[in-house]
A and B are shown apart, each in its own frame.
Chain A
Amino acid sequence: MRYLWTIILHLPFLLYSQEKYTISGYVRSAASGEELIGATVSIPALNTGVSTNVYGYYALSLPAGTYKVRYSYIGFDDVIKEVKLSEDIQLNIELSESLNELEAVEIEGESAKKNIESVEMSVNKIDAKTIKKIPALLGEADVVKSVLLLPGVSTVGEGSTGFNVRGGGIDQNLVLLDEAPVYNSSHLFGFFSVFNPDAVKNVRLIKGGIAPEYGGRLSSILDVRMKEGNQKEFTGSGGVGVIFSRLALEGPIKKDKASFIIAGRRSYADVLAKPFLNSGLSDSKFYFYDLTAKVNWTMNEKNRFFLSGYFGRDIFGSGFIFNWGNATATARWNHIFNDRLFMNLTAFYSDYDYAFGVEGDDRDDFEWSSSVVSQSIKPDFSYYLNNNNTLRFGGQSIYYDFKPAEATFASGGATNDISLPEKFGLENGLYIQNEQKFGSRIKVLYGLRWSHFSYLGAGEKQVFNDTIPGLRKTLVESEEFGDFESIASYNNFEPRFSIKYSLDEFSSVKASYNRMTQYLHLISNTVASTPVDLWLPTTNNLEPQIADQVAVGYFRNFKKNTYEASAEVFVKDFQNQVEYIDNADIFFNDELEADLLSGDGRAYGLELFVKKNTGRMTGWVSYTISRSERKVKGINNDDWYPSRFDRLHNLSVVGSYEYNDKWSFSANFVFSSGTPATFPTNRYEVQGIVLPHNVNNSRNNYRIPAYHRLDISATLVPRKNENRKIQGEWVFSIYNVYNRRNPFAIFFEQDPDQVNRTRAIRYSVIGNFVPAVSYNFKF
């Protein structure tokens, strides 16, 4: 810790000054005007270069002189500009998509070497194009399902919400949609994610070496960036699938200055089913939809503005009402103070809520809703000090409003309000980081994040007495606090450090350490998270979750950067992980914290990854061997036990082959070890009911069988497309080709036909192969 301060304090002395000029600007796509994230800007003669940031901006400082500047980006043709540098200049560049992408071009561009050259590790990127190539359930390309194919990522099972990264819970991923957090990333319990692939630009999953700019979650950042609308012309795209129909429209509002994109999806199983339902069912509702929109405006070269939003809901009902959904809104301002200082100011609003009710009359009724609302402001500055140092600093402030339950009910004409009190929290963070080059081989990113959380009033501070671990705690005393009074507060320093050392032109080794703190907790006691699970703040009883992670990796490219490969080892230590007493009551419980336990966790593993980026055949192979364990007083005799999402082996093979202009084929295969489960040893009878019993009191003492699955798809682009205004394609897919009945869980029950008989039941979420056809179009 101390050494870090020493470096930061002495920074100015470490840097020497010399008469230099800055060349800066944006790198964009020539076809749509959209900024390219992570494009490489290099000076081959000096063997130096930078990448564009997430807004497509770059800045490069050089001594006066004449240079050849090379701009490159995967899938685009390089542009080389000759620049006479005698003053600071701004140079915006447009790159054109490569037409000869299918010809196995040998790429030697700088961008292809980014994975070995950059200091970041444990990061995977997927663009919308790749996501759309992967065969998907019912033919619906899906962001989160694609993320599951990456190294270090697993899930408790098919159809469940969220994903687990390097042994962390699903609430430990900061899922960002244009910088606004999404609290529940699923439609239909987890079969589809809320991100509409037509409106997604790219997706970055950061699992380790997490930079100080990010905070608030322990295990990963899933940074989903929405596409900007086409700046040049009006276009549209859409599709008709088995589940959704989709439509996206985009175009300039003012050419090269402002554009919009609006994309919507709706499921229509209900519409199709309607004629077949009898009268009792005809008013049943079951559908989900989402709407994603973004507007951007370039006021001038110094100022750009972005507004983006998402709104989606799942709606079910038949004699009852049950719906849930997210709403997010993000406003951003990019401002260039001078050639070296770039600012992004983000403000967001994010809401997740659900409602449940029984459609009764006035005399007998039940209505329940719950929500978590957060509002935040986040300034972020990049200072391009010189070619060897890029400083970033900024802060974030988030205000949370949790409504665990707003509920009323009526019975026999009498009504009552059974709402639980609201809870409030304020999370603040400040960070500074520097990315520094030492010579041509070493790159270091170091920095510190300070985070602070206040559990705010109005509210009640409850103090509990914990006698026997694993049993409900008893309330000892409680104290009322007024509006905005701090009930409990926590401070944490989170050091972050990454280093890259290039071994040669094709390989490097990297290492990183990060500490993360998390002040929000998803209270979920079920195998798969449900839409009604509660998010709760850190309180005087529920301490912030903390994780330390060390990762070491070897990165190498083969065959002139056609293949990139990496091997990473990680070790993670978790503190204050939430667990539950037996018989925990997590809804309508005003003393919920009495039912929560806190424990430690650990995870470690090895991830191997090989990816082929270009050519007719593209794809990757990812293999992870890892362990994820928990230790909680009162569970499993206070000993370590595997977490519910522990899977020893995890293999994904993803491939896509462009056969010709007409046909392309994709396939993916996944294999993962079975998840742990608690099986009984004995049975006993009470009131004629046969009950399972585990005499050793052990948790997760068995494994359910392994999971494996093959999916394939074929895409047909009709030849007559060329002369048509509307370009169409057909996608044929089969999910679970060899019809494996993968177990999600094994549970035990009394046989309904023979009450003396007990049996083990294999529960499969998807027990068959699922074929699908969809038609996509663009114009």
Chain B
Amino acid sequence: MKELKVFRLLFISFLILSVVACEDEIDLDLEEGRTQLVVDAFITNDSNIQVIRLTTTAPYFLNEATPTVSGASVKIIGPAAVEYIFQDGGNGDYTYDPSTQGRLDSTNFTYRLELSYNGEQYTAHSKLNPVPPIDSMTVAFEEEELGSEEGYYTQFWARDFVGTQDFYWIKAFKNGEPIRPDNPSSLILSEDAAFGGNGADGFVFILPLRAAITNSDEPFEIGDVSSVELLSLNEDVFEYLDQVTIQANNGGLFATPPSNIRTNIRDINGGLQDEVLGVFSLSSISRNAIQIQ
């Protein structure tokens, strides 16, 4: 499936080359469904303020930010039953400041999310996996090629841990902003040091991943800063984000049947539930950056 995304890009470019395929926006009436709670909880071992965002679903063509939720009680349970309470900001953001009770940095510990809202209680688990350091970054000037513009292209160099199955999310920035602000769903994910499958265990991240940190439509120019964050993921979160990229870009000749993304949030007894959407994730994070000179 991860490879398929690569192919899909290739296919679409071929189709554009070979025939007059076209896309245009149309008006549609869609059936509306009941409203559900959405949990957006990506927590890192960092020292900056940690945010869990609670919103609800909305009709598909609402065309404004989805409604926020306040009045929920949100906490994460750490080692020795330490409770990290997330404060309701009234705007959907529930925040925790690590300078109060410390960072959530117990590597290999499985943290637990506890959430109660409208008299219902939910829970989720996520293990804080370690992340390898980004050893270095390199830059090279490249000429225009099929599907890529002329400019400076950077790569990051890191090596996957040997002997474990690891999952990562690679976030790339240009001068502190995401490299593709117009396409927030183009996530770079990796399983060990490759797109998926087994066999890349303990490798240096493969070339297509190393090179994915440059937007080939707008490569870097002299003076720009290219920076990278490497986040460790749990397998269920990796699958969740993988589904996010598929479902958010599921068009064209080789689309897969649209399906709902499975949440890792459970009812209080740990069973599957059908009320809350979203995901709970704990990540270790490592960073590096390079300025183009």
Chain A residues with a Cβ under 8 A of chain B? 157, 159-160, 188-189, 191, 269, 278-281, 284, 286, 316, 318-320, 322, 356, 358, 360, 364, 366, 409, 411-414, 416-418, 468, 471, 525-528, 530, 532, 580, 582-590, 644, 677-697, 699-701, 741, 744-750, 752-753, 755-768, 770
What chain B residues lie within 8 Å of A409 (beta carbons)? 194, 199-200, 206
A748 to chain B, nearest CB (A): 7
Counting residue pairs across A and B whose Cβ atoms lie within 8 Å, the total is 282
Question: Would A684 and B277 count as touching, CB distance under 8 A?
Answer: yes
Return the chain B residue nearest A588 by Cβ. B197
A-B contact pairs, 22 of them (CB 8 A): A160-B253, A279-B143, A316-B14, A364-B206, A413-B204, A414-B203, A582-B259, A583-B242, A584-B1, A588-B197, A678-B257, A682-B35, A684-B55, A685-B55, A741-B24, A749-B251, A755-B182, A759-B61, A761-B25, A763-B252, A764-B23, A768-B20
Q: How far is the CB of B235 from chain A (nearest CB, A)?
A: 11
> CA A681 – CA B258 in complex, angstroms?
12
Residues of A near B32 (CB, < 8 A) are 681-682
Given contacts A414-B203, A687-B42, A746-B26, contact A692 B258 (CB under 8 A): yes
Residue of B26, B194, B250, B257 near A644 (CB, 8 A) is B257
Among B34, B65, B184, find the residue whose CB has the most chain A CB atoms closer than 10 A. Answer: B184
Partner of B185, one of A281, A411, A697, A750: A750
* B254 neighbours in A (Cβ, 8 Å): 526-528, 530
Interchain nearest-CB distance for B251 vs A (Å): 4
- Among the listed A279, A582, A685, A757, which residue makes an inter-chain contact with B63, where contact means beta carbons less than 8 Å apart? A757
**A756–B65 Cα gap in the complex (Å)?**
6
Stretch of B2-10, B75-83, B99-107, B115-123 that contacts chain A: B2-10
- Asked if A585 and B196 make an inter-chain contact with CB atoms under 8 angstroms apart, the answer reads yes
Check if A763 sits within 8 Å of B23, measured CB to CB: yes
A716 CA / B98 CA spacing, docked (Å): 82
- B11 close to A (CB within 8 Å): yes
Among B63, B182, B253, the most chain A Cβ lie within 10 Å of the Cβ of: B253
Max chain B C-beta neighbours (<10 A), residue from A412, A683, A684:
A684
Asked whether A693 lies within 8 Å of B203 as measured between CB atoms, the reply is no
Q: Taking the nearest CB of chain B, how far is it from the CB of A104, in angstroms?
A: 40
Q: Is the Cβ of A680 less than 8 Å from the Cβ of B20?
A: no
Contacts of B38 on A, CB cut-off 8 Å? 684-686
Asked if residues B40 and A685 are in contact (CB atoms below 8 Å), the reply is: yes
A587 with B251, Cβ < 8 A, contacts A286-B17, A695-B36 known: no
Contacts of B196 in A (CB 8 A): 585, 587-588
Contact residues on B (Cβ < 8 Å of other chain), bracket: 35 or more
Q: Is the CB of B19 within 8 A of A411?
A: no
Report the Cα distance A418→B200, complex, angstroms. 8
- Report yes or no: B10 in contact with A322, Cβ–Cβ below 8 A: yes
When chains A and B are docked, how far (Å) is the Cα of A339 from the Cα of B34? Answer: 76
Residues of A within 8 A of B223 (CB): none
Q: Which of B232-256 contact A (CB under 8 A)?
A: 239, 242-244, 246-256
A683 contact from B58, B256, B278, Cβ within 8 A:
B58
Query: B279 to chain A: which residues have CB within 8 Å?
Result: 686
Question: Considering the chains assembled together, what is the distance between the CA atoms of A270 and B15 in angstroms?
Answer: 14
List, in ascending order, chain A residues with CB within 8 A of B18's CB. Answer: 188, 191, 269, 286
Within the complex, the shortest CB–CB distance from B55 to chain A, in Å, comes to 6
Q: How far is the CB of B93 from chain A (nearest CB, A)?
A: 13
Q: Which residues of A contact B204 (CB under 8 A)?
A: 411-414
CB distance from A368 to the nearest CB of B (A): 8
Distance in angstroms from A611 CB to nearest chain B CB is 31
Q: How far is the CA of A750 from the CA of B204 in the complex (A)?
A: 34
Chain A proximity mask over B110-133: 1 for CB below 8 Å, otherwise 0: 000000000000000000000000
B30 at the interface (CB under 8 A from A): yes
The 3 closest A-B pairs by CB, nearest first: A695-B33, A412-B204, A418-B199
A366 to B200 CA separation, bound complex (whole angstroms): 12
The answer to whether A682 and B60 have CB atoms under 8 Å apart is yes
Cβ-defined contact, A683 with B59, below 8 A = yes
> Per a CB cutoff under 8 Å, which of A319, A741, A747, A757 touches B250?
A747
Q: Give A770 to B18 CA distance when docked, in angstroms.
A: 12
Contact of A697 with B260 in the complex, beta carbons under 8 Å: yes
User: Whole-angstrom distance between the alpha carbons of A580 and B208 in the complex?
Assistant: 28
Q: How far is the CA of A279 from the CA of B145 in the complex (A)?
A: 8
Interface residue SS majority, chain B: loop
Asked if B272 lies at the interface with its beta carbon under 8 angstroms from chain A, I say yes
B57 located at the interface, meaning its Cβ lies under 8 Å from any Cβ of chain A in the complex = yes
Distance of A742 from chain B, by nearest CB (Å)? 11
Residues of B within 8 A of A697 (CB): 260
CB atoms of A278 and B144 under 8 A apart:
yes
The distance from the CB of A134 to the nearest CB of chain B, in whole angstroms, is: 19
CB atoms of B33 and A681 under 8 A apart:
yes
A308–B128 CA distance with the chains assembled, in angstroms? 62
- A682 touching B58 by the CB < 8 A rule? yes
Besides A587-B3, A686-B278, A760-B25, 20 more A-B contacts (Cβ < 8 Å) are A157-B253, A284-B146, A286-B14, A417-B199, A471-B262, A587-B1, A589-B197, A682-B32, A684-B278, A687-B244, A689-B244, A693-B57, A693-B261, A701-B31, A749-B248, A756-B63, A761-B24, A763-B252, A764-B21, A765-B19
Residues of B contacting A468 with CB < 8 Å?
A: 272
Are B143 and A681 within 8 A (Cβ)? no
CB-CB under 8 A from B49, the residues of chain A are none
Residue on A with the closest CB to B204? Answer: A412
Cβ of B243: which chain A residues have Cβ within 8 Å of it? 582-583
Contact A695 B1, CB 8 Å, known A286-B18, A583-B243, A683-B58: no
Cβ–Cβ < 8 Å partners of A758 in chain B: 60-63
Task: Tell me how far the C-beta of A724 lies from the nearest C-beta in chain B, rounded to whole angstroms.
Answer: 35
Asked if B282 is at the interface of the complex by the 8 Å CB criterion, the answer is no
Instruction: State whether B253 touches A744 (Cβ < 8 A).
Output: yes
Set B30, B59, B251: member contacting A747, Cβ < 8 A: B251
Find the B residue at minimum CB distance from A415.
B203
List of B residues within 8 angstroms of A269 by Cβ = 18
Q: Separation in Å of the B188 CB from the closest CB of chain A? A: 13
Q: B28 near A685 (CB under 8 angstroms)?
A: no
Q: Which residues of B contact A278 (CB under 8 A)?
A: 144
Determine whether the beta carbon of A689 is less than 8 Å from that of B251: no
Q: Is the CB of A684 within 8 A of B57?
A: yes
Residues of chain B within 8 A (CB-CB) of A356 are 7
The yes or no answer to B293 lying at the interface (CB within 8 A) is no
Give bound CA distance, A318 to B144, whole Å: 12
Which residues of the other chain, A, contact B153 by a CB distance below 8 angstroms?
Answer: none
Residue on A with the closest CB to B56?
A684
Q: How long is the Cα–Cα vector from A720 to B280 in the complex, in angstroms?
A: 79
What are the residues of chain B within 8 A of A413 when measuring CB–CB?
204
Per-residue 0/1 for B152-182: is the Cβ within 8 Å of any A Cβ (1 yes, 0 no)? 0000010000000000000000000000001
Q: Among B19, B33, B242, which residue has its beta carbon within 8 angstroms of that of A694?
A: B33
A411-B203, A766-B20 are known contacts. Are A745 and B252 too (CB-CB below 8 A)?
yes
A682 x B33 contact (CB < 8 A): yes
Query: Which residues of the other chain, A, contact B26 by a CB distance below 8 angstroms?
Result: 746, 760-762
Which residue in B21, B197, B239, B262 is a CB contact (below 8 Å) of A765?
B21
In the complex, what residue of chain A is closest to B150 when comparing beta carbons?
A280
B269 lies within 8 A of chain A by Cβ: no
Chain A residues near B10 (CB, 8 Å)? 316, 320, 322
Contacts of B55 in A (CB 8 A): 684-685
A762 vs B21: C-alpha distance when bound (angstroms):
11
Write the chain A residue with the least CB distance to B20.
A768
Let me know if B20 and A682 touch, CB within 8 A. Answer: no
Closest to A760 in B: B28
Q: Establish whether residues B194 and A411, one from each chain, have CB atoms under 8 Å apart when the complex forms.
A: yes
The interface residues of chain A lying within 8 Å CB-to-CB of B22 are 741, 763-764, 767-768
Q: How far is the CA of A582 from the CA of B260 in the complex (A)?
A: 8
Known: A582-B262, A686-B40. A762 touches B24 (CB 8 A): yes
Q: CB-nearest residue of chain A relative to B40?
A: A686
B108 within 8 A of A: no
Q: Which of these, B33, B242, B253, B261, contacts A696 with CB under 8 Å?
A: B33
Q: Determine the residue in chain A with the shortest Cβ distance to B181.
A: A755
Q: CB < 8 Å: which of A364, A414, A699, A755 contacts B184?
A: A755
